[in-house]
Structure 1
């Protein structure tokens, strides 16, 4: 019998773009199929989101062998005017823990 924790919420505070950005901040060498599965979107949707984030200057993609390595531009500002005076690095700092 499914519990409330097993059900997918009808809305979340972060967009899929935010979820993809955080996933790549946690693991810069993650495969997009794994990112997509963790978020609950298609791989094609994850690819489109990465293209959006890359075009907007939030991340850079570098090919390393057969994999991609993603570098986040933590100094990039949020897009919405209400948060534009904050950098996305502030959001990443809340959700991503690491030693560097």
Structure 2
């Protein structure tokens, strides 16, 4: 019997890479993609553990899962950072450069 490929291994790998690349999109897009990749990876890992001799591309699945974990962590930190920026400076300061400079000077103690 010929080895089969895990059904979602390539998708998990692609989603893991994209979740890292989209960390600058306020953390939301990459976080969603990373979570989807982790769910798909979990399903394929259960399938692989049931009969490992049937499948040949477990390494792609494992790399994709690791990239998805890294992407989720980076995007979660990024999202928390952007929420902190909005909470600390406020939306008004983010939209008005002069007010933002004033708040930055206050932050620096000038």
> Shared fold by TM > 0.5?
no
Query: Greater Rg, structure 1 or structure 2?
Result: 2
Task: Using structure 2 for the length normalisation, give the TM-score.
Answer: 0.26
Task: Name whichever structure is richer in helix by fraction.
Answer: 2
Task: Using structure 1 for the length normalisation, give the TM-score.
Answer: 0.27
Task: Name whichever structure is richer in strand by fraction.
Answer: 1
Q: Which one has more relative contact order, counting CA pairs under 8 Å at least 6 apart?
A: 2
